[in-house]
């Protein structure tokens, strides 16, 4: 299935497919490639007994730290590299260290607060030496709290960098496999309608858009990197027209027209 940065772009290809007599291909959002054999219309829905269920859990740092094995199994099913799998264990270690730093920092701040109140009382009583001794303890507590805050900030940054590189957990209906050929086909539609030309060649939506000189994949990669698109010519006009149509339709619905 094609991943794009715009829902409207998908609507563009839907409209183009309809105009040119092509069908659409639907599959589980598991694989990153735009095309893979065999080329057929499929909806992939398969339970996987060998993979533990995510039970609808969303990916978050706490889940990675507390259930790293669950996360690693799902990442392995997505074909994650050893480096990515190792980052899960590192995140769990960083998360534990973060909790230690928070506890230690809070304890230091509690000491500072408690002793600061005692210092004022001792000064009023003229117990200067005792007050000076407590001041030293307060300074030490301040220094310890600052060290904890600094290290916690570094830990948060490292953990955040690793976390943003992790993909989501797999839905229970998504099969484990190395490619789309391992999907379980549960229904097909529009297969024959995807044939284009006299020879009946199967073509994907990106191929049709390129032939219409409307999709500039290379330019998009240079401008914004992967998974972005640049539209031109009639395809760009069609996108703007569809966008305006849906905005007008939504506006009428909101106004109750």
Contact 134, 122 (CB under 8 A): yes
Say which residue, 198 or 62, is predicted with more confidence: 62
φ, ψ dihedrals at 201, nearest 5°: -85, 135
Say which residue, 199 or 110, is predicted with more confidence: 110
Q: How far apart are CA 122 and CA 3, in angstroms?
A: 69
Check residue 225 and give its pLDDT.
76
Residue pLDDT, tens place only, 74-126: 888 888 888 888 999 999 999 999 999 999 999 999 998 888 888 888 888 88
Nearest to 97 by CA among 146, 153, 140: 153
Nearest to 217 by CA among 30, 18, 25, 35: 35
Check residue 198 and give its pLDDT.
73
Secondary structure of residue 18 in the 3-state scheme? helix
Residues 6+ apart with CB under 8 A from 52: 70, 73
Lowest pLDDT segment from 7-11, 94-98, 100-104, 168-172: 7-11
Residues 6+ apart with CB under 8 A from 137: 111, 115
pTM of the predicted protein model? 0.49
The pLDDT-based confidence of 209 (bands split at 50, 70, 90) is confident
């Amino acid at each position: 299935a094609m991943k794009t940065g715009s829902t409207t772009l998908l609507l563009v290809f839907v409209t183009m497919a309809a105009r040119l007599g092509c069908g659409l291909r639907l599959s589980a959002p598991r694989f990153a490639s735009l095309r893979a054999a065999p080329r057929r219309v499929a909806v992939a829905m398969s339970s996987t007994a060998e993979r533990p269920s995510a039970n609808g859990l969303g990916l978050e740092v706490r889940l990675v730290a507390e259930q790293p094995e669950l996360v690693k199994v799902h990442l392995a099913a997505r074909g994650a590299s050893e480096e990515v799998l190792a980052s899960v264990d590192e995140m769990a270690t960083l998360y534990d260290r973060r909790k230690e730093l928070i506890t230690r920092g809070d304890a230091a701040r509690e000491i500072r607060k408690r002793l600061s109140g005692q210092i004022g009382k001792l000064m009023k009583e003229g117990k200067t030496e005792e007050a000076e001794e407590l001041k030293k303890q307060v300074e030490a507590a301040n220094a310890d709290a600052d060290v904890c805050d600094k290290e916690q900030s570094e830990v948060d940054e490292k953990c955040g960098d690793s976390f943003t590189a992790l993909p989501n957990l797999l839905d229970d209906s998504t099969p484990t496999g190395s490619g789309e050929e391992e999907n379980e086909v549960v229904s097909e539609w529009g297969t024959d309608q995807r044939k284009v030309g006299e020879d009946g060649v199967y073509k994907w939506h990106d191929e049709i858009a390129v032939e219409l000189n409307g999709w500039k994949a290379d330019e998009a990669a240079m401008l914004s990197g992967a998974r972005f698109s640049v539209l031109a010519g009639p395809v760009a006009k069609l996108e703007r027209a569809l966008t305006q149509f849906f905005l007008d339709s939504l506006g009428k619905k909101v106004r109750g027209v």
